[in-house]
Amino acid sequence: MSSRAVKKVRVLLGARVRALREDLGYTQRMLGRRARLSGKFIGEVERGEKSITIDSLYRVAQALRTPLGDLASTNGNRKTTRRPRHR
């Protein structure tokens, strides 16, 4: 895979994380706390600037109440499903 293709995957993943985060009304800092990552790192991932490990991606998916497979999918037509919020 070319570096341009890898960058595209990072950008798609970051856009999905940002959309889900905003849908929940979370700030980058809030998501970072819930996923045990820094808010700064969440922003870098959302902008496609940084790669994220599978372990960290799993924690982000959990914080967003989204299946990891849906979050990591690069298929733009795939609808992301979230578990309902437990209060």
pLDDT at 66: 95
pLDDT at 4: 83
**In 3D, which of 14, 13, 41, 39 has the Cα closest to residue 28?**
39
Q: Is the pLDDT of residue 58 over 60?
A: yes
pLDDT at 86: 47
Length of the chain: 87
Task: Kindly report the pTM of this predicted structure.
Answer: 0.82
Six-digit token pair at 31?
């998501």
Mean pLDDT along residues 51-66: 96
Convert 22-38 to b/e letters by CB count within 10 Å (16 or more is b).
Answer: eebebebeebbebbebe
Q: Is the pLDDT of residue 77 over 50?
A: no
Give 3-70's CATH code, choosing from 1.10.260.40, 3.40.50.2300, 1.10.10.10, 3.40.50.410.
1.10.260.40
pLDDT at 83: 53
